[in-house]
Homo-oligomer: A and B are copies of this chain.
């Protein structure tokens, strides 16, 4: 029996997405594949609500997507402001510094997110070339107030790069309306495809900043110069070559993006919010404390929860013994003190109850007697029945 996969990525994907992977490998010059790739690029732009942006689909992980964003917009000596909400914001700073940026961090206490006033106070100390925000940090489950932060960056003429890896297609994002310059993400979370695709939508302003560079991008593989003509050609229905595109994964991406648009972005975001509310009701009923310091900064795509007193990382194994795969902590400051539950992409009411039930049983088996058995599933069910 396969466990229910409830880690914060990779996530379970739809049967039609798997079927797209199971079909014979498409050649990158096939007319069918050219049409598929072109459509996937258009759909990616729709998902980001960025009719004016240039989409990129590249073989690689979410970290490559981060480097694809930052390597092209940073020149040695540029100042960058990192809105830091966890491990992946630290990683963004690490990548920025590798490309020569001078990084300033703006932080809240762990589990919180800096607000627009705090970020704006830092922006005034600029000039900064770019600001980065992690939409949802997978390590902390903190949801940043992206709209107000991006708008603050715009007011200061600073390029806004948003890392949507654990958010895209699960949390609302309006790239053009908010004025974000790069929205970057990966395939294996709420986008609903196995891992292996780095995805970006880039504003004309960011492309122009890249065109004004004085020094070449540090490496070839992340250089937009190589990918831009390929993306433009495929979207125009013509093949072009830089590196062999991951044809099977791109076909799967096209299927998943089509499903996302068929569900409707607003409906999809609402489903994620509803499932997250059910989970939060369960956590609260079960006496589990969330790592995010308030509901306002709690992601709808995953939960991060402190182990109850007397419990440790062995809980993850006990939940697995109950048939559900969840993940341990990731943030270096407290990785042994909390665990994470992914709830994105196909997540259903059935998944919520199965997961809460497994955690509840594992807690009871581990001697956690804070609440009566059944309290968690009942609380989740009450939200789901609403």
Task: Find out whether the CB atom of A22 lies under 8 angstroms from the CB atom of B27.
Answer: no
Given the known interface contacts A19-B22, A220-B94, the answer about A196 and B62 at a Cβ–Cβ threshold of 8 Å is no
Task: Find out whether the CB atom of A13 lies under 8 angstroms from the CB atom of B25.
Answer: yes
Task: Find out whether the CB atom of A248 lies under 8 angstroms from the CB atom of B195.
Answer: yes
A43-61 interface bits toward B, Cβ cutoff 8 Å, 1 = contact, 0 = none:
0000000000000000111
- Name A243's contact: one of B30, B62, B99, B244 (CB within 8 Å): B62
Seen from chain A, the residues whose Cβ lies within 8 Å of a Cβ on chain B are: 2-3, 5, 7, 9-13, 18-19, 21-30, 59-64, 67, 71, 94-95, 98-99, 186, 188, 194-196, 216, 218-222, 241-249, 325, 327, 330
Task: Find out whether the CB atom of A194 lies under 8 angstroms from the CB atom of B63.
Answer: no
The main secondary structure of chain A at its interface with chain B is loop
| Complex: A242 Cα to B94 Cα, angstroms | 13
Known: A18-B22, A194-B247, A221-B222. 12 other contacts (CB 8 A): A9-B244, A10-B26, A12-B24, A12-B25, A59-B196, A63-B220, A98-B220, A194-B248, A195-B244, A218-B218, A219-B219, A249-B249
- Name A60's contact: one of B23, B26, B64 (CB within 8 Å): B64
Indicate how many identical chains form the complex. Answer: 2
| Complex: A99 Cα to B219 Cα, angstroms | 7
Q: For A27, what are the chain B residues with a Cβ–Cβ distance below 8 Å?
A: 5, 7, 10, 325
Among all A-B residue pairs, the 6 with the closest Cβ atoms: A22-B22, A61-B243, A196-B246, A194-B248, A218-B218, A219-B219
- Name A219's contact: one of B2, B29, B196, B218 (CB within 8 Å): B218
- Name A10's contact: one of B3, B64, B216, B244 (CB within 8 Å): B244
Q: For A26, what are the chain B residues with a Cβ–Cβ distance below 8 Å?
A: 10
Task: Find out whether the CB atom of A23 lies under 8 angstroms from the CB atom of B18.
Answer: yes
Task: Find out whether the CB atom of B67 lies under 8 angstroms from the CB atom of A220.
Answer: yes
Q: For A95, what are the chain B residues with a Cβ–Cβ distance below 8 Å?
A: 220
| Complex: A219 Cα to B241 Cα, angstroms | 23
Q: For A194, what are the chain B residues with a Cβ–Cβ distance below 8 Å?
A: 21, 25, 246-249
| Complex: A186 Cα to B244 Cα, angstroms | 10
Instruction: Give 13 CB contacts A-B under 8 Å.
Output: A5-B25, A10-B27, A13-B25, A18-B21, A21-B22, A59-B60, A60-B60, A61-B221, A67-B220, A94-B220, A196-B196, A218-B218, A241-B330
